[in-house]
Amino acid sequence: MTDPTRAARPMPSRRSAYPALRPITTRWMDNDVYGHLNNVVHYSLFDTAVNGHLIEQGGLDIHHGSVIGLVVETRCHYFDSLSFPQTVWAGLKLLHRGRSSVQIEVALFGGEAERAAALGRFVHVYVDRETRRPVAELPMALAEALDQLKAAA
């Protein structure tokens, strides 16, 4: 009986693969009973890196913007442990930008490490704040902030 999980396992990526890298400090309570970042924390770092980039670049106004991003899918492969008190660097790369949906890859690097400790991906669908229906087109400021995350060809 083959293990269906093995086929798709990606390789750890490297820092140079990411157009943007953002530092995030870890917290004491991120460490679980085994002394390493609990697997849940990684998703909190993904969220933080992506939204932090979009807010700083003017692409997302969480309080007053007309569109909001709903998360429809997330995933993560874990390669190495991360631990408090390390600083983690989150690398961001745009994988796909459609009319209303966006796919972003996020890699986490512990301290100075060149090799990713974890590799995540998530899919946002942008909806109208009131109707909660997918927008016909992304606002321009958001599209531009996302396009900064395109990897050089």
Strands 67-78 and 87-97: unpaired
Kindly tell me which of 1 and 153 has the beta carbon lying closer to a second copy.
1
- Tokens standing for 25? 């400090």
* Cβ partners under 8 Å of residue 4, min gap 6: none
What is the nearest approach in angstroms of a second copy to the Cβ of residue 54?
A: 10
Q: Which is nearer to a second copy, 9 or 152 (CB)?
A: 9
User: Applying CB under 8 A, which residues contact a second copy?
Assistant: 1, 3-5, 9, 23-29, 31-35, 38-41, 43-45, 47-48, 51-52, 55-56, 62-63, 68, 70-78, 84-85, 95-96, 98, 101, 103, 122-123
Nearest by Cα to 145 from 45, 43, 41, 67? 67
